[in-house]
């Protein structure tokens, strides 16, 4: 029922937002920049803010057309290599003959599209042959496609790694750290030729018993039945995935924003000042961030509930109880895949120690093949985007890949 109410509200507000954007664009043409049109500039700024606050369910473009390698620009083409109803292995193919390390970026299925990792990919592109898991919005997946739970997520990681072929590497951002660790363990046990040579786990909830955050406390403070009753709903029949049970992306976004509501309010007040003051560079940066942040995707209910139960409530991975397709997952059997874990000093979603727990679980790896990096000054998103990712974290990822290649 809540999904229908949310969608009705979206349907009601869409024409209002379109009117605000259109009116603002027209009035902006009469702004001369002189003091006598200052009130008009204030009005157009307010209209733009009103018009840009809506949630969308459409994946934004990655937007990569070229990348600078050495002293020349190289064309980049997005090529789907393998697709299922739930996701696509997307290859950022570059027009070069130079062989580069093949890196699979596993994006989180946690309410945002894979394009949230645009900054991650941008830094990786010049020196690596980059692939990404481009997950599909669950409300666009018909019921006939079947279920999608933790096993199916791991299936996709393994299949995508096999599509990339031997000698690849994997980098998991946030939530997929657990299924990626399980996938690599399963591939190692079966001696799969496509087992990645290195695995980077970034700000992922391997052991959420360590320094619990508000996210962890929410999971521990409610039963799985509470989550299913209060946070899972049915996609309206007007959409392709009508009838599918999902955790609506809008709810996930609301939860994330509520954790830092003051920060978002300040950001929009600052955007109003940017627009009135004519600071186009800062205004454009704000638009780019919120265009991405407000684009949400629904999660299959099976995957969401299984993640809450096995990762956040019952801690299957650190307790040695995690299963994949009925078989116990054994991280200690990972013996040839270098491991790098990365954490943020100020991460309020995945606390210090939760990702580094993977180092102890991978006891079959020699000490020289695994390490943890604590990024000072970084929050959750700063681990995989922005200047700290580019200047301090990525060099360690590059070193790990080079050492394993």
pLDDT digits over 233-276, tens only? 999 888 899 999 999 887 776 666 666 677 766 866 777 677 77
Mean pLDDT of 99-105: 97
* Residue-level length of the chain: 405
Dump pLDDT digits (tens) for 320-355: 999 999 999 999 999 999 999 999 999 999 999 999
Residue 199: how many CA atoms within 13 Å on its side-chain side? 33
Whether the Cβ atoms of residue 201 and residue 222 lie closer than 8 Å to each other = no
What is the pLDDT averaged over residues 267-294? 72
Higher-pLDDT residue of 387 and 21 is 387
- Map out the domains of the chain as residue ranges: 2-54+249-293, 66-218+299-404
Give pLDDT, residue 133: 98
| DSSP-derived pairing of the beta strands 102-106 and 129-135 | parallel
E strand residue ranges, 70-142:
72-84, 87-94, 102-106, 129-135
Mean pLDDT for 209-222 is: 89
Query: What mean pLDDT do residues 270-298 have?
Result: 74
Mean pLDDT calculated for residue range 117-123: 96
Q: How far apart are CA 388 and CA 342, in angstroms?
A: 12
pLDDT (average), residues 137-160: 97
pLDDT of 280 over the 90 cut? no
Q: What is the pTM of this model?
A: 0.87
* Res 402: pLDDT: 97
What angle (nearest 5°) sits at the alpha carbon of residue 198, between those of residues 194 and 199? 100
Q: What gap in Å lies between CA 213 and CA 349, rounded to an integer? A: 6
pLDDT at 9: 67
Confidence of residue 392 (pLDDT cuts 50, 70, 90): very high
The class of domain 66-218+299-404 in CATH terms is alpha beta
State how far the Cα of 171 lies from the Cα of 177, in Å rounded to an integer: 9
Selection from 229-233, 238-242, 400-404 with the highest mean pLDDT: 400-404
pLDDT of residue 404: 95
C-alpha 32/C-alpha 338 separation (Å) is 59
For the chain, the 3-state helix, strand and coil shares in percent, each to the nearest 5, are 50, 20, 35
């Amino acid at each position: 029922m809540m999904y229908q109410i949310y969608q009705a509200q979206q349907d009601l507000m869409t024409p209002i937002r379109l009117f605000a954007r259109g009116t603002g664009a027209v009035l902006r043409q009469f702004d001369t920049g002189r003091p006598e049109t200052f009130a008009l500039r204030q009005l157009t700024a307010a209209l733009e803010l009103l018009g840009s606050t809506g949630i969308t369910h459409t994946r934004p473009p990655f937007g990569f057309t070229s990348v600078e390698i050495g002293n020349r620009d190289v064309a980049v083409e997005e090529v789907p290599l393998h697709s299922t109803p739930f996701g696509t292995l997307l290859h950022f193919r570059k027009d070069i003959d130079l062989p580069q390390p093949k890196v699979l970026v596993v994006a989180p299925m946690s309410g945002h599209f894979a394009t949230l990792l645009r900054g991650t990919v941008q830094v990786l592109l010049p020196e690596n042959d980059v692939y990404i898991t481009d997950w599909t919005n669950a409300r666009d997946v018909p019921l006939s496609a079947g279920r999608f739970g933790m096993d199916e997520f791991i299936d996709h990681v393994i299949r995508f790694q096999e599509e990339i072929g031997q000698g690849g590497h994997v980098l998991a951002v946030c939530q997929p750290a657990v299924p990626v660790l399980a996938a690599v363990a399963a591939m190692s046990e079966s001696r799969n030729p496509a087992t990645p040579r290195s695995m980077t786990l970034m700000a992922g909830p391997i052991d959420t018993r360590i320094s619990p955050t508000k996210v962890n406390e929410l999971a521990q403070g409610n039963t799985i039945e509470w989550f299913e009753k209060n946070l899972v709903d049915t996609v309206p029949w007007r959409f392709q995935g009508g009838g599918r049970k999902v955790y609506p992306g809008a709810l996930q976004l609301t939860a994330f924003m509520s954790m830092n509501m003051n920060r978002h309010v300040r950001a929009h007040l600052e955007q109003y000042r940017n627009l009135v003051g004519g600071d186009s560079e800062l205004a454009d940066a704000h638009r780019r961030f919120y265009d991405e942040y407000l684009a949400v995707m629904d999660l299959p209910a099976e995957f969401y509930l299984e993640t809450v139960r096995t990762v956040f409530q019952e801690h299957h991975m650190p307790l040695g109880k995690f299963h994949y397709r009925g078989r116990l997952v054994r991280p200690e059997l990972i013996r040839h895949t270098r491991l790098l874990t990365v954490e943020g000093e100020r991460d309020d979603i995945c606390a210090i120690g939760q990702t580094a727990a993977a180092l102890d679980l991978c006891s079959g790896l020699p000490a020289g093949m695994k390490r943890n990096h604590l990024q000072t000054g970084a929050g959750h998103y700063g681990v995989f985007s922005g200047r700290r990712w580019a200047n301090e974290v990525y060099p360690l990822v590059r070193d790990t890949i080079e050492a394993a290649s």
